[in-house]
Structure 1
Amino acid sequence: MSTVVGSEGTTAETGTAAGAGRVRGITDWRPEDEEFWAEAGATVARRNLVFSVLSEHIGFSVWSLWSVLVLFLGPKYHIDAAGKFMLTALPTALGSVLRLPYTFAVARFGGRNWTVFSALLLLVPTVLAGIVLRPGVSYGTLLAVACVAGVGGGNFASSMANINAFYPQRLKGWALGINAGGGNLGVPVVQLVGLLVLATAGAAQPRLVPLVYLPLIVLAALGAALKMDNLPSLKNDKRALREVAREPHSWVMSLLYIGTFGSFIGFGFAFGQVLQVQFHHQFDTPVKAAYLTFLGPLLGSLVRPVGGRMADRWGGAKVTLVTFALMAAGAGLVLAASQGKSLPLFLTGFVALFVLSGIGNGSTYKMIPAIFQAKARDAVAAGTDPAKAEQDSRRRASALIGMAGAIGAFGGVLVNVAFRQSFLASKNGDAAYAAFLAAYVICFIVTWAVYLRPSAGKLPGV
């Protein structure tokens, strides 16, 4: 019988779910040991994954709260389209900045402890939104409150770094895909909540949307406190970020993640506004736009684990390369549809971009631990102790997950700024769509040149 040793000196038999449930801190964790994994590790990892997904899901909903609330801001609020794009850009920006400290908070405070704290922190932007949303509130106040919602964006990085440490290499693509996909679902879910409020209470009741999330936040924090575990082995030295910052692959992966996750979160925040401005005759009321706003983020979230599975099977680089090629085609379709004023083609192209960005999210995140795993194998072949090489691989992968997550999320800011400038300049999004197409072509070229070009120094398994 394999055991997992608790941080207070107790030992729990994890061959049974009941035994696993008693452990809150773990000192003996060997996920690459197949016997340990089968008898003990899988049960504990799965439980932590479930409650990590729940907390991250709520975090994403709070982070994207203003993608819904801007639909309620009618003429009485005196905010034009450019001003609304700024309201969605600010929380995206803060969320991207917070991802780095959130990643290392897991190592500093423990995965369970930080999940509880970060979940409770979501009460701040939610309560503030419920208080200030009424006609007559100043635009500056709305900007400040919207910005605070960015704390929800940090939850993703800490959750991913934590779950990365729980799972063996062979299952990381699936586990990280499930964790991220479940979290990403918070975007369409909050949009469905907004649709429900619009369809029942009407556009005059925006405060009902954040109020729905208050009890859910408390439940997520309580579940993490009762069911999750700390992994003291995650305590990495403070050199991890400096090490990955000196690694060229880190910057390549950050660029690729801008193309995938930056697109997903940026489009998720902006899609409802784009529909209202680009096709204002068809979407002359907020509820009409809300009926379609959630569809793209929903599909993109659901396919993220599929992207991870595909990367597990065929390699992350190959899946990512094909994804960027198809995303470039999708952006071209959206541009053509915009110029031809074809709503069906426009919706088809945008939904395709959401789905493809979801697949790319899964495949790029699979590449991160695979890169350091390949480097660990090279280090062992050169004489490094296998245990040390494995530990270095995990802490560097966790550090890069935070770094790439932060930089990639900033891509969402760029998407919203691109839309804002495009609509300010020409009253349509054509310039933004052309910019997205060019960005996907660049990401395609970089992926091929670094990881798949025959003469490139390949990393096996990436």
Structure 2
Amino acid sequence: MRARWITRWEPEDPGFWDREGRRTARRNLWLSVFAEHIGFAVWSLWSVLVLFMTPEAGFSLTADEKFLLVSVVSLVGAVLRLPYGFAVTRFGGRSWTVCSALVLLVPVVLAAVLVRRPETPLWALLLCAAVSGLGGGNFASSMVNINGFFPEREKGWALGLNAGGGNLGVATVQLLGLAVLATAGVARPELLPLLFVPALLLAALLAHRLMDNLATNRTDYRAFRSAVRDRHCWTISLLYIGTFGSFIGFGFAFGLVLQNEFGKTPAQAAALTFLGPLLGSLARPLGGRMADRFGGARVTAWSFLALAAGAAGVLVASAAGSFAAYVAVFVALFVVTGLGNGSTYKMIPALYAARAQSAVEAGDDPEEARARGRRISGAVIAVSGAVGALGGVAINLAFRQSYRSTGGADAAIGGFLAFYLLCLAVTWAGYVRRPAAPERELERGRERERAASPVPQSAAERGV
């Protein structure tokens, strides 16, 4: 396949951006959103398929085994994010989007074959679920690709929109699952994966015809080595475990939790599970916008405070036996994870752009310093995306262990509450409060964001 490469790309130049940059960047953004959306849907496919696997349909899977299935999907998707993030800078956004869409035909066709057979052994289902994890890698490649197209002043919005549009794939597959359950019942689970065959072919075709490869968006091994040696990479990865890990983990587990906690049927569970991922996905661009306005660290800290309060609310609703309150608070948790996802990712380009500016002020070549900052920023996005997705694995394994040990989900929820408080403390101590010796790149990044903001900021609105 002959790739179409853009060799000159200067989004920070206002003239270039107005003439051609904005139009090209947005075209690639919308196509990336569509392809990533389908990838997320395939990644989340098994969160719905397990709802079909009831005794009435001939399956004998336990709750423990179902949580294991969705944990495997989460794990593979998380592990693949790092190589996917590197691959898009190696082969180009257009080329990699085409390939990553076409390869997802394998897990959807395989799932359509296996879920029709209740006698399928668990190991075969686990293998099929693992292959579906390929869809999880699409997020990292898409985010790294879009990160290279936009200027720093618009990255919070662009990355939030790209990620939010992708995250909506979780709600899409759950809505489609509900439609299949409502029309065909649990007897026709193969219809759900087959619905994605034409969508994947369309995504590959549109990417091939309309997307671009960005030659300047190159991340090499040295950038990854620099990223993994940087403490900020691991701190932000920890925070992303709390935000995105919660989003994808709850997205996979919510339906199973409703079935086990309240005895809901597959259709009843599916009728509610899409609400959380839908609203959480829509909230992600808002989180990016809020981070552009108030600073990523402040919005992230607010998000963890709200997540801790939400987890406490779930425990209260569980103790009261209130199904309505349980669902309402859980959906609110999804919304807050979306806000936190957008704000946490905004922190990455802001930090490394500030470091690049510090290097320029110290005498480095401006173009070289900014290019180096973009490469390392892309590497950190890939690393944090991979580590953060492991939070989804931890969520489902925690639910699995909680049900095995106590027969309910409260023990797992209590653990999540403690982790959110830890993340709040890390965010506040490392990025919000002003320490005795603040890091210069963060301070300068704050100053530039305030100067570039079209709306004057008060002292209470400052922060990265």
Q: When the two structures are superposed, what TM-score results if normalisation uses the length of structure 2?
A: 0.93
Select which of 414, 438, 463 maps to 1:457. 438
Q: Distance in 1 between matches of 2:423 and 2:69?
A: 28
Deviation at 1:238, TM superposition (A): 1.6
Flag structure 2 segments of 5+ consecutive residues without an equivalent. 447-463
Q: Deviations over 1:382-437 (max 9, x none)?
A: 11111111001100010001000000000000000000000111111011100010
Asked if the contact 1:160–1:401 (Cα under 8 Å) also holds between the matched residues in 2, the reply is yes
Pairwise mapping of residues 334-353 of structure 1 onto structure 2 (< 5 A)?
Answer: 334-353=314-333
Q: Which amino acid aligns with 1:272?
A: G
Deviation at 1:193, TM superposition (A): 0.4
Q: Which amino acid aligns with 2:434?
A: P
Asked if the contact 2:73–2:133 (Cα under 8 Å) also holds between the matched residues in 1, the reply is yes
Match of 2:32 in 1: 52
1:383 correspondence with 2:366: no
Match of 1:29 in 2: 9
Asked if the contact 1:451–1:457 (Cα under 8 Å) also holds between the matched residues in 2, the reply is no
Match of 2:152 in 1: 169
Q: Distance in 1 between matches of 2:267 and 2:221?
A: 49
Match of 2:101 in 1: 119
Q: Which amino acid aligns with 2:258?
A: L
Asked if the contact 2:237–2:383 (Cα under 8 Å) also holds between the matched residues in 1, the reply is yes
Pairwise mapping of residues 235-250 of structure 1 onto structure 2 (< 5 A)?
Answer: 235-250=218-233
Q: Deviations over 1:111-145 (max 9, x none)?
A: 10000000001101001001111211111111110
Asked if the contact 2:219–2:378 (Cα under 8 Å) also holds between the matched residues in 1, the reply is no
Select which of 373, 377, 389 maps to 1:397. 377
Flag structure 1 segments of 5+ consecutive residues without an equivalent. 1-7, 9-22
Deviation at 1:450, TM superposition (A): 0.4
Pairwise mapping of residues 70-85 of structure 1 onto structure 2 (< 5 A)?
Answer: 70-75=50-55, 76-85=58-67
Deviation at 1:235, TM superposition (A): 2.3
Pairwise mapping of residues 103-182 of structure 1 onto structure 2 (< 5 A)?
Answer: 103-133=85-115, 134-182=117-165
Match of 1:234 in 2: 217
Select which of 61, 75, 87 maps to 2:69. 87
1:215 correspondence with 2:162: no
Match of 1:288 in 2: 268
Q: Distance in 2 between matches of 1:454 and 1:236?
A: 32
1:361 correspondence with 2:341: yes
Pairwise mapping of residues 8-23 of structure 1 onto structure 2 (< 5 A)?
Answer: none
**Which secondary structure state, in structure 1, belongs to the residue aligned with residue 28 of structure 2?**
helix
Q: Which amino acid aligns with 2:21?
A: G
1:416 correspondence with 2:396: yes
Asked if the contact 1:180–1:304 (Cα under 8 Å) also holds between the matched residues in 2, the reply is yes
Pairwise mapping of residues 193-208 of structure 1 onto structure 2 (< 5 A)?
Answer: 193-208=176-191
Q: Deviations over 1:4-48 (max 9, x none)?
A: xxxx9xxxxxxxxxxxxxx93201100000111011100000100
Asked if the contact 1:58–1:183 (Cα under 8 Å) also holds between the matched residues in 2, the reply is yes
Q: Distance in 1 between matches of 2:207 and 2:132?
A: 21
Per mean C-alpha deviation after superposition, the further-off stretch among 248-257 and 339-348 is 339-348
Deviation at 1:232, TM superposition (A): 1.1
Q: Distance in 2 between matches of 1:29 and 1:140?
A: 48
Report % sequence identity. Answer: 59
Runs of 4+ in 1 over 4 A off after TM superposition: none
Q: Distance in 2 between matches of 1:237 and 1:328?
A: 38
Q: Distance in 2 between matches of 1:297 and 1:272?
A: 12
Deviation at 1:378, TM superposition (A): 1.1
1:263 correspondence with 2:243: no
Deviation at 1:453, TM superposition (A): 2.0
Q: Distance in 1 between matches of 2:328 and 2:238?
A: 26
Q: Which amino acid aligns with 1:149?
A: S
Match of 2:456 in 1: none
Deviation at 1:344, TM superposition (A): 1.7
Q: Distance in 2 between matches of 1:94 and 1:383?
A: 43
Asked if the contact 1:160–1:180 (Cα under 8 Å) also holds between the matched residues in 2, the reply is yes
Per mean C-alpha deviation after superposition, the further-off stretch among 144-153 and 338-347 is 338-347
Q: Distance in 2 between matches of 1:64 and 1:237?
A: 30
Q: Distance in 2 between matches of 1:40 and 1:184?
A: 29
**Which secondary structure state, in structure 2, belongs to the residue aligned with residue 167 of structure 1?**
coil
Q: Which amino acid aligns with 2:359?
A: A
For this pair of structures, how many residues does the alignment match?
Answer: 438
Q: Which amino acid aligns with 1:61?
A: A
Asked if the contact 2:10–2:16 (Cα under 8 Å) also holds between the matched residues in 1, the reply is yes
Asked if the contact 1:63–1:95 (Cα under 8 Å) also holds between the matched residues in 2, the reply is yes
Select which of 181, 184, 207 maps to 1:224. 207
Deviation at 1:239, TM superposition (A): 0.5
Match of 2:299 in 1: 319
Deviation at 1:340, TM superposition (A): 1.8
**Which secondary structure state, in structure 1, belongs to the residue aligned with residue 234 of structure 2?**
helix
Q: Which amino acid aligns with 2:168?
A: L
Match of 2:84 in 1: 102
Q: Deviations over 1:304-355 (max 9, x none)?
A: 0000000000100000001100110000000111122111221121011100
Deviation at 1:237, TM superposition (A): 2.6
Q: Distance in 1 between matches of 2:27 and 2:272?
A: 34
Q: Distance in 2 between matches of 1:155 and 1:323?
A: 25
Pairwise mapping of residues 184-195 of structure 1 onto structure 2 (< 5 A)?
Answer: 184-195=167-178
Q: Distance in 1 between matches of 2:411 and 2:364?
A: 51
Q: Distance in 2 between matches of 1:237 and 1:418?
A: 36
Q: Which amino acid aligns with 1:223?
A: L
Deviation at 1:260, TM superposition (A): 0.2
